[in-house]
Amino acid sequence: MSVDTSQLVELSADEVVTHSYVRDVNLASGGVLALVTLDNDRDHRRPSTLGPATLIEFSSTMDVLRGRAAAGEIQAIGVTGKPYFLAAGADLSKVGQIPSRDAGKQMAMLGHDALGKLHDAGVPTFVFINGLALGGGMEIALNADYRTVDATAPALAFPEVFLGIIPGWGGAWLLPNLIGIENALKVIVENPLKNNRTLKAKEAFDLGIADAIFGSASFLEESLAWADKVVHGAVRVTRPNVPGKIERAVKWDAAIGIARKTLQSRIGTVAKSPYAALDLLAGAKRASREEGFAAEDEALADLVSGDQFRASIYAFDLVQKRAKHPAGAPSPTSRGRSRKSASSAQDSWRRSSRCCSSASSRCRSSSPTSIRRASTRASPASARPSTSCRPRVASAATSRTD
C-alpha cells in the first residue's frame, strides 16, 4: 500500500528521528536473522519515539528486508530497541501538530503501512521487547509474528485513551484477537482510565502478549536462540488466550456491553476516546485485519483533529514542562549568576582576610612600647580598622540576591 505523506513531511523537519539500524546475526542453526535496532542516537533521557520520518525510514528498511527474505538471504527478521526502550509510542509533539483530519488519517495509514510490513514478510518476524513499550511501541510488537520480553521491562501499555485517542496502528484489532476481549478491554480501556496503569513484563507474558520471557543479563542472546528454535520448529508456540468460537459467540458482545455501562456510570458520555475504543474492540470480533485497520484509520483521524485531544496534549505538555522547570525554581541562567556571585563574594572575603592578616603581622612585629605610643597618639577615628581591611560581607549579600 502506498501512503500519501505530503502533509506529514512538513511536520518532520525538526523530528528527533528514531533510526532503523540493521545488522545480520548468524544463528546457531546456520541461518541468518536480520536484526533491526530502533535508536534515536540519544541517551537514556530521551526515549525512542515514532514520528513521520521514523515511520518512513522503518517502512523503507522493511522493504529491503522483505526483498532479502524473498531472495533467500535471510531466514528471519527481528526488531529490538536501544537500551531500556523498545519505543515510547508516537511522537506526541508531532501528533499534536497535525493540522487537519486528512493529515490525521495519513498518520494513521502510515503507521499501519510501516508496522504492518512485519506481518506476512515471507519469513518469521520477531520483536524482542527489551524495555519500555508504550502505544506504538506495543503495536510494533503486535504486528510481528512472535514476541519476547525482558523480565525487567518497566512498563508495557496502551495509554491512548488516557490522551484522548485510540490505539490506531493495529492495536485495537490485534490485541483482542490475541489475548481475548476481556483482557483487551482491561489493557486498552480500563488501565488508561485508572491513572494510566501499565503492565509489568510478567503480566504481559501471562496475558499472552509476549510468547517468552527472559532475564535482562542475557536477554538478546536468549531471544535470538529462542527465535532460531522457532524458525526451525524446535519450539512450538502456544497461545491459550486466543479467543475461540465460544468467546466470539457469547462472551464478546456481553463484555462490550458491560464495559459500556460501566463507562457511562463512571465518566458519563462526554469523553469520546473510550467509546471509540469500545466500538473498535466490538468490531474486531468479525472484521478482517484490513477492515479493522481501516476502521482505526477513520477513528484516529476523527479524534486527532478534535478539540478533546488537543486539550489533552496541551495539558500533557504543560505538565511535562512544569516537571522539568518547577514553579519558583531559578532558571539555569539565574543559577549561573548566583554561582558567579557566590564565587565573587568568596574571593572578596579571601582578599580582605589576607589584608587584615597582613596588617596583624605588621602589628605583631612591632614592640609593645611602640604600640602603646602609637595608640596614645591615635585619634578615635584612626584607631578603627581601615575599611579596606574589612570583609565585604554586605556587598556579597547583595550580589547573591541579584
Task: Give me the pLDDT at residue 50, please.
Answer: 96
Task: Give me the pLDDT at residue 395, please.
Answer: 36
Would you state the cell numbers that stand for residue 105, as one nine-digit string? 488519517
Task: Give me the pLDDT at residue 345, please.
Answer: 52
Task: Give the number of residues written for the chain.
Answer: 402
For the chain, the structural domain boundaries read: 6-324, 331-353+387-402
6: Cβ–Cβ under 8 A, 6 or more apart, which residues? 106
Which residues lie across from 157 on neighbouring strands?
134
Would you state the cell numbers that stand for residue 350, as one nine-digit string? 579571601
Beta carbons within 10 angstroms of residue 355's beta carbon: 16
* Bridging pattern class, strands 212-214 and 146-150: parallel
Q: How many CA atoms lie within 13 A of 170 on its CB side?
A: 24
| Beta-sheet strand order (sheet of 125-129) | 19-26, 32-39, 76-81, 125-129, 146-150, 212-214
Q: CATH number of the domain at 6-324, out of 3.30.43.10, 3.40.50.620, 3.90.226.10, 3.40.50.1360?
A: 3.90.226.10
Task: Give me the pLDDT at residue 322, please.
Answer: 52
Q: At what angle do helices 393-400 and 332-365 cross, to 10 degrees?
A: 170
Contact 57, 20 (CB under 8 A): yes
Average pLDDT per 10 consecutive residues for the chain, totaling 402 residues: 77 90 97 98 95 96 98 98 96 80 94 97 98 98 98 97 96 98 98 96 98 98 98 96 96 98 96 98 98 98 90 73 55 52 54 49 43 43 43 36 40
In angstroms, the CA 329 to CA 9 distance is 37
Residue 344 to residues 165, 168, 356, Cα–Cα distance (Å)? 54, 57, 18
In angstroms, the CA 143 to CA 174 distance is 8
Task: Give me the pLDDT at residue 339, please.
Answer: 53
295: Cβ–Cβ under 8 A, 6 or more apart, which residues? 172, 173, 280, 283, 287
Among 64, 51, 69, 52, which residue's Cα sits nearest to residue 21?
Answer: 64
Residue whose C-alpha cell is 490485534:
174
